[in-house]
Every structure is written in C-alpha cells, then in structure tokens.
C-alpha cells in the first residue's frame, strides 16, 4: 500500500494546507522545510554524518584515524559473511535514526525523500563504475509487512534502481520464518535468529549475475549475509550490500 500523497485530490489538499500552515522540518520543528526535501531542514541535514574512508573493507564500518592499507574489523574476522562487501551512506544516529524509525514504525512516508536521497547520493558514484544486474531488497515476513503496510527496503531499493537503471526483484528472496527483533541481540544471536529465516524462489538460477542487496540499516551483517548466502547458492557471481545507514 502506497501511503504517499499521490492523488490529485490529496496533492490539492496538501497545497492548500501548506498555504495556511508553512511547511516545517519534521525533525526539529523550528525551521522551514519543503516536501521535496523530505521535510528535513538544512540545519538537520548538517547533522548527518556521511561515512567516508577509512573503513572496514568488508562491512564498511568507519574507523577513526589514518590507515594506509585496507583492514578488516573484528566483527568481520569473527563472522562468516557471504557478501563480497557492504557499504552504508551515513551513520545510524541522531536525525537519521529518528527519521528511519518514524518512517518504518509510524508510517511517516515523507521521510522517504530524505532517506532515498542519502542512499542515492552516496551509492550512485560507487555503483555506476561497476556492472550490477539486479537489486534485491531484504524482505519482511508477510505478517510484518501486512502490519507495516510496506517494506522500507523495497521502496528505497526501487528508488536506487530507478536512479541507476538497475532492475529490482522484490520476490527473489522471501522471508519464510518470523524472527525476533535484532535490536537487542548479540552478534551470535543475530546470526542464529536469521539462519533459516529466508528462502529463494523455486527453480531460480542467478548464474553469472551480480546482485546488490539493499536495506535501511546495517548492524552486524547477519541479515544481509543470510540473504547473500542464498543468492550465492543460486549461482550469483557477486553479491554486495548497500544500506542507508550503518549502526556504530
């Protein structure tokens, strides 16, 4: 279900309301911000921490300091991760984390503009230099998707796909078992929690194809690794991950 304001009647109503009530930033509530900006003002934008090198060559975890050679963080050394590499646009903190939570859990769909912009502006320069055959959004379990009424990974993935002209397949990987929230689980508990949570569409071959998994937040990589494992089994030549935000 698309909860965004898309019909002419709703657009007219929005325009009328904006004339009476000036559009305000939905994060700080004090500055002006337009719908095209995702209702996020320039002051809140300045609080976003973009992830830049140096970072872990495997999962993209940023490192404070100077490095002259590629390194792998302790989390990646201790886990068996099935993707080639993972990157995130920004740190999952402050205004970004608040926007993600309100988008996912409170259906505040106007934040999709903001989050999609964060995803695309950092991912596009990197991904344009390579060949990508398919974007695969990390799926929600059907029960959770009915409750939430949308899958944030799919919506954000479709924005990225449109920006880069890459096909999106939201049915390729399915979540077949409900799982506990990963939020309060340890690294080992996260991996076990999603070990059998996903399945591939029957009779699928991805031989020679390069796939990009997309999600909103990357923490330990357990969820995306479980999905990448299935894509590898189906013959994918390469599997990488891009998320809007990175838990630190």
What is the domain-level CATH number for residue 177?
A: 3.40.50.2020
Query: 42-95, pLDDT tens digit by residue?
Result: 999 999 999 999 999 999 999 887 766 778 888 888 888 999 999 999 999 999
Torsion of CA 23, 29, 33, 38, to 10 degrees: -100
Which domain-ending residue is among 27, 46, 65? 46
Say if residue 5's pLDDT is above 50. Answer: no
- Token pair recorded at residue 112: 């999709």
One domain for residues 115 and 141:
yes
- Please, are residues 42 and 57 in contact by the beta-carbon 8 Å criterion? no
One domain for residues 55 and 172:
yes
Query: 130-156, pLDDT tens digit by residue?
Result: 999 999 999 999 999 999 999 999 999
Q: What is the pLDDT of residue 194?
A: 75
Say if residue 17's pLDDT is above 50. Answer: no
- Please, are residues 198 and 226 in contact by the beta-carbon 8 Å criterion? yes
One domain for residues 19 and 115:
no
Q: How many domains does the chain have?
A: 2
Q: What is the pLDDT of residue 168?
A: 97
**Full domain range(s) for residue 3:** 1-46
Reported as a pLDDT band with limits 50, 70 and 90, residue 244 is very high
One domain for residues 17 and 60:
no
One domain for residues 33 and 137:
no
- Higher-confidence position of 7 and 207: 207
* 208 CB-contact burial (10 Å; exposed 0-12 / middle 13-18 / buried 19+): exposed
One domain for residues 103 and 148:
yes
Reported as a pLDDT band with limits 50, 70 and 90, residue 184 is low
Residue 54: is the preceding peptide bond cis (ω within 30°)?
Answer: yes
CA distance 106 to 103: 6
One domain for residues 14 and 111:
no
Q: What is the pLDDT of residue 104?
A: 94
One domain for residues 99 and 192:
yes
- Please, are residues 27 and 40 in contact by the beta-carbon 8 Å criterion? yes
- Which ranges constitute the DSSP H helices of 46-151? 74-78, 94-105, 111-127, 142-148
One domain for residues 15 and 124:
no
Nearest to 218 by CA among 183, 189, 190, 244: 244
Q: What is the pLDDT of residue 67?
A: 67
User: For the residues 120-129, what does the mean pLDDT come to?
Assistant: 96
Contacts of 162 (CB under 8 A, 6+ apart): none
One domain for residues 28 and 64:
no
Q: What is the pLDDT of residue 109?
A: 92
Reported as a pLDDT band with limits 50, 70 and 90, residue 187 is low
Say if residue 2's pLDDT is above 60. Answer: no
One domain for residues 203 and 228:
yes
Q: What is the pLDDT of residue 141?
A: 93
Reported as a pLDDT band with limits 50, 70 and 90, residue 183 is low
One domain for residues 35 and 68:
no
- Higher-confidence position of 189 and 159: 159
- Token pair recorded at residue 200: 């591939």
Query: 233-242, pLDDT tens digit by residue?
Result: 999 999 999 9
- Token pair recorded at residue 229: 């494992």
Average pLDDT of the chain, as a whole number: 87
- Higher-confidence position of 124 and 21: 124
């Amino acid at each position: 279900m698309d909860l965004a304001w898309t019909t002419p009647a709703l657009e007219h109503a929005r325009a009328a309301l904006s004339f009476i009530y000036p559009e305000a930033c939905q994060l700080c509530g004090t500055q002006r911000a337009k719908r095209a900006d995702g209702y996020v003002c320039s002051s809140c934008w300045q609080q976003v921490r973009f992830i830049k090198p140096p970072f872990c060559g495997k999962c993209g975890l940023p490192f404070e300091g100077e490095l002259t050679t590629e390194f792998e963080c302790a989390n990646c050394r201790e886990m068996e991760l099935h993707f080639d590499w993972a990157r995130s646009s920004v740190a999952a903190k402050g205004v970004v984390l608040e926007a993600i939570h309100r988008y996912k859990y409170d259906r505040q769909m106007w934040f999709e503009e903001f989050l999609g912009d964060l995803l695309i502006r950092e991912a596009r320069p990197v991904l344009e230099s390579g060949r990508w055959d398919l974007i695969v959004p990390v799926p929600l379990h059907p029960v959770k998707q009915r409750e939430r009424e949308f899958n944030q990974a799919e919506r954000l993935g479709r924005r990225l796909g449109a920006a880069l002209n890459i096909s999106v397949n939201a049915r390729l990987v399915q979540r077949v078992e409900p799982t506990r929230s990963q939020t309060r689980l340890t690294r080992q508990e996260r991996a076990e929690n999603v070990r059998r949570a996903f399945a591939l569409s029957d009779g699928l071959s991805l031989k020679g194809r390069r796939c990009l998994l997309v999600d909103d937040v990357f923490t330990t990589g357990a969820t995306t690794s479980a999905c990448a494992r299935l894509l590898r089994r189906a013959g994918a030549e390469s599997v990488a991950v891009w998320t809007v935000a990175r838990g630190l």
